[in-house]
Amino acid sequence: MIRAGNGWLAVPAVVYLALLFACPVAAVLMYSGLTRDFYGGVIWTPSAVAWQMATDAITLRILARTLLLAVGVTALNLLIAYPCAALLARLPRDQRTMWVLVISFPLMTSLLLRTYGWLNILPLAWRGTLPAVALVLACNYLPFMLLPLVKAYERADGTLLSAALDLGATPWQAFWRVTLPITKSGAISGAMLVFIPVTGEYLIPHFIGDGKVSVVGTVVMSSFDHRNWPYAAACAAWLAAIILVPIVVSLVRKKD
């Protein structure tokens, strides 16, 4: 047993977070308040230009589009993953493991290869549209939604659903009043695992979006190309703030 009072056990985690999370975030924030160097990097004089750009209508629209995309992909994944998880949960254990492997198998191939593959599958007219980007992202992130959900379904063993039906609940009522509340924590973990990385995605929006779908990720990338580090840093900070707010709110609410 590890005693809660043994603070030394937290040292590796604290060092890791300080070095690889807190310091880079501080650096990003700092860069967003410095002057752009047209040859790359920054000039060490304070400037508000990057934040003026990052709060104008164009950037705000890009931010809104990024959030819409992330919400859409998460919702699409929930819709696909719920019936899949219900099916998988009913299989015997060894078969379930096999299918989970099959579903995660695409993750083991190169992301670039997979994305080029999609370019061949998608109808030409869809290329460069937001829904096409959402579709490819959804397929890419499905395992991250499915795996926690399958775990949650395993907790809600099948007799609970039988019990709900037996006690007079219609299949819809049984889903709404039993399955959903019990699998909620798995769905939330899955949603976090999908939502957060999708907000920072740039490769799939870049290729599938054909340069016509601007999201925060692609803007940050092109800002590096244009040697505008402060603006890229400001966009990244915006994104981090938007993601952090709901996480902090949910943590505070859990404490109550």
Residue 2: CB minimum distance to other proteins, A: 23
- Residue closer to other proteins (CB basis): 156 or 234: 156
- Residue closer to other proteins (CB basis): 20 or 180: 180
**Cα 227 from Cα 38, distance rounded (Å):** 6
Residue 148: CB minimum distance to other proteins, A: 17
Residue 156: CB minimum distance to other proteins, A: 8
- Residue closer to other proteins (CB basis): 24 or 171: 171
Binding characters for other proteins, 150-189, by CB under 8 A (x = yes): ---------xx-xxxxxxxxxx-x---xx--xx-------
Residue 152: CB minimum distance to other proteins, A: 12
Nearest CA-CA partner of 37 in 256, 198, 230, 167: 230
In the structure encoding, which two tokens stand for residue 233, read together?
A: 């840093």
- Residue closer to other proteins (CB basis): 60 or 165: 165
- Residue closer to other proteins (CB basis): 129 or 185: 185
Residue 186: CB minimum distance to other proteins, A: 13
**Cα 103 from Cα 95, distance rounded (Å):** 12
- Residue closer to other proteins (CB basis): 164 or 234: 164
Residue 86 binds other proteins, judged by CB under 8 A? no
Rg (CA), the chain: 22
Is 149 in contact with 187 (CB distance < 8 Å)? Answer: yes
Total binding residues for other proteins by CB under 8 A?
A: 17
Coil, strand or helix: which one is 41? coil
Helix (DSSP H) and strand (DSSP E) numbers for the chain? 13, 2
Residue 183: CB minimum distance to other proteins, A: 10
**Cα 189 from Cα 187, distance rounded (Å):** 6
**Cα 37 from Cα 43, distance rounded (Å):** 6
Q: What is the DSSP letter of 170?
A: -
Residue 153: CB minimum distance to other proteins, A: 14
- Residue closer to other proteins (CB basis): 154 or 210: 154
The per-residue DSSP string of 184-228 comes to HHHHHHHHHHHHHHHHT--HHHHHHTTT----HHHHHHHHHHTT-
Q: Applying CB under 8 A, which residues contact other proteins?
A: 159-160, 162-171, 173, 177-178, 181-182
